[in-house]
Structures are given as structure tokens and as C-alpha cells.
Amino acid sequence: MKQKFPENFLWGASSSAFQIEGGWDEDGKGKTVADFNSFKRSDKQADTKVASDFYHHWKEDIAMMKELGMQIYRFSLSWARIVPDGDGDINAAGIDFYNKVIDELIANGIQPFVTLYHFDLPYALVEKYNGWECRNCAFAFERYARVCFKEFGDRVKYWQVINEQNLMIRVNERMNIYVDDLWEADRIRAQMDYHMFLGHALAVNSCHELVEGGKVGPAVSSTCTYPLTNKPEDVWAAKMNDWLKTNYCLEMHINGEYPGYYMRYLRERNIVPKMEPEDVAILKSAKIDYIALNYYRTLCASYLPASEEHPIGERVYRDNEVDFDQYGYCRNEKNANLSASEYGAQIDPMGLRIVLNEYYRRYHLPMIITENGLGMADVLTEDGKVHDSYRIDYIRSHIQACANAIEDGVELIGYSPWSVMDLLSSHQGFRKRYGFIYVDRDDFDVKQLRRIKKDSFYWYKHVIETNGEEL
């Protein structure tokens, strides 16, 4: 099957620091929220102490990235490896590590595409400020960002500020929110969310100031929600699910203010965050250059009326802390028209085409996909191979959706799926694998951490070689 991608289309793969690096406390690195949470599950699954051990295998791993043909590598820096306590002394060893990684990538013809913050807030800032609930955290983030731009900006030109703020804000542990009262949890979330927007804006402006030719933007967890029926109330519920989970975040990044529907929701819940007058100019002045989107699945919703018992805006969580029902807005439903992975994510490449078109028509900014993949319990065969045809099928269908979106007129500049190699899944450890490269370890035995190319590695290598014309 032949597809047409632009000649300068960027093919790559992705990872994040806490999920791949290991070396969690080596060479002066501080503890992060991701470390803290992983240690609580150490008796059930792997934690961040070793992960995929990129910290000690980076050179051979980058050599495999080159063999794969990657043109970009989207990865994150660990804030706590560079500033161990979040807002204090700079750790020279951390700077040195990332300099070596960046230089090695460039030497191998791979463009570094760097995320500043991917779920791993320095834990010292939790102890000092309760993290993002305090606006001091936003200015600590600005300082950290400026250090990164000054140290690496001569070689790194593509920057992502925060990964999936819109998803992170809904998940208790990633924000370090541990309170029993749901209203209080939502109030804390709203204040943290606002300060993250402020920190994002400060970082965007700093990038444009310090990085010559730098491009900077957010990475959002994209949302495409179908109505359960064609009843007008269900159609509205589906739209509100998208708006309250994702679109409000993009509108804040692009317009510098909350959209009206989101302010109404904050007022209904009585959780409007505290904002300072001087923030208006900062938020309005921060102009992003592109949108990065992470896409895994679509959602389905029906209308959930509010009642005296459950007032409008009240949220009720289901099996996990990401999906929730919201009275007066929407109830999450299962889409009977889609199949799902063994971990429950419904597979829908058409949804990717839809969100690419929707975001481009609405925001008119170039886009790049920085996460898209299939997590499965891959098996290493006796002959030392991993036959992951299911992953090939998944990624092939989603690359096809990208090609269709480009034909629709979407300015899509790259595709960097999740993930370059197997890495630590927050809730399934090494049972749930996404990589093109198998890391031979399990949750409680790191073994030799051998790197083994899966069938999908060779398939994706050919896709890159042919610029997506042969899927």
C-alpha cells in the first residue's frame, strides 16, 4: 500500500525519563513524584530504580535508534536530575548526562525532540509547596526551563513543555493529590492546573527568548468522544466530554484564557482557582508554535442529568481515576462498535483522523504525533524473537489514518509512536509493553537487560526507509 508523506516528514519514536532511565538516585538526582508512587507499588510490579536502564545503556540504545532509522527521538529530561530539589542548586552531573545523550543523538543523525516535564515533579517541591498548588512551583519550573534552554538550546530546537497536562490533572497520584473529599480534590486540581498553565506560558516565552530558531508547544492527551445515540443530549454530552478533558487545555494554551464553558464548570463546582492580575499578560503573550498530540483510543458518552442528590458538575470516578461520570454533562460508555486491547483500550484509527482534522481546523497550527501505540504482554520465544504482528497491524492502521489526514489538508509534520523500547508502565510494570525493542527483564528480575529487536522493529524500519509509502 503506497501513501504520500511530505519529503521532510519526521519519523521517530518516544519515551519518558522516569519510565526508561533508571539510575533514580545516581549522580545527585533527586526523588520525583513518579519515584515516590512507583515505590508504593514495588511489591506488585517494577519501580523506577532500574526501569529500562537507559542511564547506563544510552549509547547502545541510540545505536539501535539509528539502525531503526529514527529521524527524531522524543524523550523527556528529568527535572530532578538537573535540579534535584526543584528550585535549588543545579546538578552538573545531570547536565553532563543529557549533553552526552543529545550529542550522541546528533552524531547519529537523530534530532532530539525534548519534553521538559513528563509526570515527574521533584518530590522536594511537594514537601515544600504541595507542588503545583503553590504558584511558586510555576516560577521554579520557569527557572528549570531556562537552565535547559541555555544548556541545550544550541542543539535542541524542538521543545515540548509539559506532557499531557490535561490527563495529568485528572489522575490523583501524578499530581500527588491524596484527600478523601472529592470537592477538595477538584479544588486542588483546578489550582494546580492553573499554575501549570502559568508555568507553561513562562517556559514558552523563555524558549522564544533563549533558543534561536526554537519551536515550542504542549503535548496533549487527545480526546475524541462519540455520542452513545443520536439523541441531542448525547451529542452534547460527547462534545462536553471532549471540551472538558482536552479542548479547554488547548484553548488556554492558544488564547491565554479559559473558555466560557470551562469557567462555567469551575463556577458550578465552586473551584475557580486563584489568579493574579499580572498573570493575564503572561498567559496572553505565550504563543505556541505547534501542537503535539498523544493518541491511543476514543471514548463514548451519554448525557447524565444532574439531580438534587448529585448537583451539576459533580464527578464520580469509575474503575480508574482517568474516566469519570460528570453530572449535568456526561457519562462514559463502552462503544460496542470497537474492539479493545487486552488492557481495555478500544482500537480506533479513524478517531486519530478525526482529532487531527478537528484540531487543525480549529487551531490552524502544525501538529506532530508524539505518542501512539499498543501496549501488550509480548512474549519472548525460545529462539529469542518477539513476533508482535498485532503491533504492526495497530501502527499500520494509524499511519494510514495520518496519511488520510494529510490528504484532508492537515499539516502533520511527524509521527513518533510510543515507544522506542519497552519501558516501565505506571500501573502494569513490564507486563505491558509498547516498544519496538524488547527489554529482557520482568517486574522482579532485571536479568541482563538484553535489547532484542521485535518483528515490529524491522517493519517500522522499512516504513521509515520508504517514507511511509510501503506499509
- Of 21, 142, 164, 333, the active-site residue reads 164
Instruction: Give alpha helix (H) positions in 230-371.
Output: 232-242, 248-255, 260-269, 279-285, 349-363
Sign of CA dihedral 14, 140, 49, 100: positive
| Residues in CB range of 338: below 8 A, 6 or more apart | 298, 346, 347, 348
Give the burial string for 44-73 (b: 16+ CB within 10 Å, else e).
Answer: ebbbbbbbbbbbebbeebbebbeebbbbbb
Quote the CA–CA distance of 272 and 269 in Å, as a whole number: 8
| Residues in CB range of 119: below 8 A, 6 or more apart | 16, 18, 33, 34, 163, 164, 168, 174, 426
What is the per-residue DSSP string for 81-142? HHSTTSSS---HHHHHHHHHHHHHHHHTT-EEEEEEESS--BHHHHHHH-GGGSTHHHHHHH
Interhelix angle 349-363/389-407, rounded to 10 degrees, is: 30
- Of 142, 151, 173, 371, the active-site residue reads 371
DSSP code of residue 30: P
Three cell numbers at 43?
Answer: 511489591
Strand 437-440 and strand 367-371: the pairing is: unpaired
Spatial contact of 467 and 7, defined as CB atoms under 8 Å apart? yes
Residue 436 to residues 27, 115, 143, 322, Cα–Cα distance (Å): 29, 21, 35, 27
Measured from the Cβ of residue 258, the count of other Cβ atoms closer than 10 Å reads 22
Quote the CA–CA distance of 413 and 369 in Å, as a whole number: 8
Burial of 344 (0-12, 13-18, 19+ CB in 10 A): exposed
**Is residue 371 annotated as part of the catalytic site, yes or no?**
yes
Identify the bridge partners of residue 388 per DSSP, sorted by sequence position: none
For the chain, the maximum distance between any two Cα atoms, rounded to a whole number of angstroms, is 64
Three-state secondary structure call for residue 299: strand
Three cell numbers at 62?
Answer: 541510540
**Is residue 142 annotated as part of the catalytic site, yes or no?**
no
Three-state secondary structure call for residue 76: strand
Three-state secondary structure call for residue 308: coil
Residue positions annotated with a catalytic role: 164, 371
